[in-house]
Structure formats: C-alpha cells, structure tokens
C-alpha cells in the first residue's frame, strides 16, 4: 500500500504554471528595474531623499532610513520603525530607485494609519511561519500512513500561507498607489519619470501575484492528494 504512493504523481504538474509564472515575474521585475535605473531623474533626488520627504510629509519624522547591503531587498520594519534601502536604491537618483523607496515609505504610512489589511496580515504571520516549516511534512506523513488528521493539519497550515499571500496583495498594491499619489503631488518627478516608476512597481507587484498563484496551486494539489488517499 505504501509503495503505491510512490508511483508517478500527476498532481505535481499542477505546480508547473506557478513555477513558470514566478520565474517570469522575477525576470520581469529585474529587467524593468535595470531599464529604469540606468539614468537619474531631472531633479536628481535619491531614493533615500524621496523616502525621507514622504515620511516627513506624513508626520513620520521618527521613522528612520537605513542603508543596507544587497540588491532590491528593501523593506519597512514596523518593529524598529525603520525603512531599509538597498545599495541599488538608497543613493540612486533613478526613477526605479525613487519608486521603490516611495513604495516602502507607503508601507510606513500604512502602519502609522493602522491600515486594516496590514494589521490582518501581521495577525496571521505566526501561523504562516509555522506552516511554512510544518505544513508539507505533516501532510505527507499523514498521506503515507493514511492518517487523516495529519493530512488535514497540513492542509490547514498551508491554507494559512495562501491566506497570507492573499492578504499581501492589497497591502502591496495600496503601498504602490500611495507612493504614486505622493510622488505625483510632490513634484519630485516629471510625467515620464512617474511612468517609469509605475512600471517598476507594477512589475514588482507581479511577484506577489505569482506567489499567491503558486500557493493556491500547491493547496489544490494537497486537497486532491488527500481526496485520492481517502478513496483508496
């Protein structure tokens, strides 16, 4: 019975579209960033300066900006109240860098204004962290030994991961929208430069969509496997 589980598993093919989408999204964001990071904006404002202006305009002078090593690993840390900008963004005056920096400042504004989707996403982070480590092992242990409670636990934990990815979309889209509205109103960039920043943020958003698609396809696979095991 156990050996029958190791026959070709067609459900693994469900993961292929998600993998391809994720790879394409990563290539898209890297190529778009490279395209619009090769020249400075007319006013020569750096990513760090743009983020600082947005923060100050929103009464967030207490939020710090730090320069970190790396490439496009920029993020806002709400626990430390700090925006960390990578080598490619902090001192660059390109439309791409300003777009990314403004996006992270948008997250800081969300946190200050207690943006509901961000609060919900933070609420499910513990379950997501546990699920990312335990969901798949629990499920397949349950599958091998035909123990439905373990399979169900694995499915529920992975569902929490998918829910986190779903909650991430409005958080990321809203941060980008806030960034573009602020940049347009600030006069830091002209229309062509704003269009370039928007393209970079749109490409970045595709990576979050790809993550959601991949997690949903994985969840579907687990449900199908569990159903097939139950029938057997």
Long-range contacts of residues 157-161, Cβ cutoff 8 Å, at least 24 apart: 157/127, 157/130, 157/131, 158/131, 158/215, 158/218, 158/219, 158/222, 159/219, 160/124, 160/127, 160/128, 160/131, 160/135, 161/128, 161/131, 161/132, 161/135, 161/215
pLDDT (tens digit, 9 = 90+) per residue, 132-173?
999 999 999 999 998 999 999 999 999 999 999 999 999 999
Residue 104 catalytic? yes
Q: Global pTM?
A: 0.89
Beta carbons of 207 and 29 less than 8 angstroms apart: yes
Catalytic position from the list 66, 104, 193, 199: 104
First-residue to last-residue Cα distance in the chain: 9
Q: What are the structure tokens assigned to 97, written together?
A: 């860098």
Number of domains forming the structure of the chain: 1
Which structural domain, as residue segments, surrounds residue 64? 3-231
The model's pLDDT over 28-78, given as tens digits with 9 standing for 90+, comes to: 999 999 999 999 999 999 999 999 999 999 999 999 999 999 988 999 999
């Amino acid at each position: 019975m156990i050996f029958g589980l190791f026959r070709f598993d067609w459900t693994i093919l469900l993961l292929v579209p998600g993998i391809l989408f994720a790879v394409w999204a990563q290539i898209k964001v890297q190529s778009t960033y490279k395209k619009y990071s090769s020249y400075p904006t007319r006013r020569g404002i750096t990513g760090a300066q743009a983020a600082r202006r947005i923060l100050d305009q929103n009464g967030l002078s207490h939020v710090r900006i730090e320069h970190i090593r790396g490439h496009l690993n920029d993020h806002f840390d709400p626990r430390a109240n700090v925006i960390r900008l990578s080598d490619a963004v902090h001192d660059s005056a390109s439309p791409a860098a300003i777009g990314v920096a403004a996006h992270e400042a948008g997250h800081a504004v969300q946190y200050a204004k207690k943006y509901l989707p961000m609060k919900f996403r933070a609420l499910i982070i513990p379950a997501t962290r546990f699920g990312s480590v335990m969901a798949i092992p629990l499920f397949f242990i349950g599958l091998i030994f035909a123990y439905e409670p373990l399979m169900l636990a694995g499915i529920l934990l992975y569902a929490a991961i998918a829910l986190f990815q779903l909650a991430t979309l409005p958080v990321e889209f809203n941060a980008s929208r806030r960034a573009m509205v602020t940049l347009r109103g600030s006069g830091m960039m002209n229309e062509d430069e704003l269009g370039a920043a928007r393209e970079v943020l749109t490409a970045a958003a595709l990576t979050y969509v790809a993550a959601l698609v991949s997690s949903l396809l994985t969840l579907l696979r687990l449900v199908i496997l569990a159903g097939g095991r139950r029938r057997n």
